[in-house]
Structure 1
Amino acid sequence: MTEACRVAGLASDGARLIRLGENALFRLAARPVIVRVARSAEYLSSVRTEVRVSHWLAREGFPAARVVDDIEQPLLVDGHPVTFWHLIEANATPLTVNWAPS
């Protein structure tokens, strides 16, 4: 995480681990960003797809988690795909979607 932040030009000082599971998630202290570190390079293809989907949903105006746009991603650092996401505050208003199949 520290090396990925250095490559991305973000300060990692004070970052804290908020979840360790399929991915390690870190919250940066200096900026409202979540750093997501995947387990291995085997996940690189799916991580690339997640980034593309995030960009597509943003273009469509769909309310979803967003990757940080000013960072080229995903990064591959020490064999781990790393992405950077805008923090969604816990007190954010939940959104609902009315969907009906056509």
Structure 2
Amino acid sequence: MPKNEQPIEFPSELLAKEAALRAARTAHFEYLRTLPSGWDVEVTDEQRAESARLREGERQAAAALAADGYWAALAPPDRVGHRAALTPTALPE
């Protein structure tokens, strides 16, 4: 966002959806970091199931954010800028 532009005021519901997406991505990433790595390592069915569960949670959070009515109210060229501006607002301080 250029320096002379005012920050965008996002609805709290949209901010919550962005935060939920960030939390889901973090949870999935952190779980993947606990798994063994290497070509010859076996991953258990339970580990695969947990990864799939977390990936599905991430997908659902992304879908909820993308389907929010906020985006439909914007002209298509404005959506990218608003989406980019939304991401840092959900970061914890």
Considering the TM-score relative to the shorter chain, is it more than 0.5?
no
Asked which structure has the greater CA Rg, the reply is: 2
Higher relative contact order (CA 8 A, sep 6+): 2
TM score, norm. by length of structure 1? 0.26
TM-score (norm. length: structure 2): 0.28
Which structure: greater helix fraction?
2
Q: Which one has the bigger strand percentage? A: 1
